């Protein structure tokens, strides 16, 4: 009887070790890279928007073009 319990504990310990190692591997593969791989510039704050219809520059918070009235947002 004791041998069975010892074997059960050993099998349980091996299973838990495998589970923990698999979780660590999964987390490592999902982690973002520590250094950027390309030189992407951050977006600049909007200082104005251009009308897709006529090309007139408008305020950043304008909903419609001041020249032709086209919807900007």
φ, ψ of residue 60 to 5 degrees: the values are -65, -30
Structural contact between residues 53 and 71, judged by C-beta atoms closer than 8 angstroms: no
pLDDT computed for residue 37 by the predictor: 62
DSSP letter at 37 equals S
Q: What is the per-residue pLDDT across 3-45, written as a single tens digit (0 to 9) for each?
A: 999 999 999 999 999 999 999 988 877 767 666 666 777 666 5
Structural contact between residues 58 and 49, judged by C-beta atoms closer than 8 angstroms: yes
pTM here? Answer: 0.39
CA 35 to mean position of chain CA atoms: 15
């Amino acid at each position: 009887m004791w041998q069975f319990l010892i074997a059960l504990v050993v099998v349980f310990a091996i299973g838990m070790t495998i589970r923990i190692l698999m979780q660590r591997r999964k987390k490592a593969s999902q982690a973002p890279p520590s250094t950027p791989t390309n030189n992407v510039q951050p977006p600049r704050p909007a200082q104005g928007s251009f009308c897709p219809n006529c090309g007139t520059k408008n305020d950043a918070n304008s909903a419609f073009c001041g020249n032709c009235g086209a919807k900007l947002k």
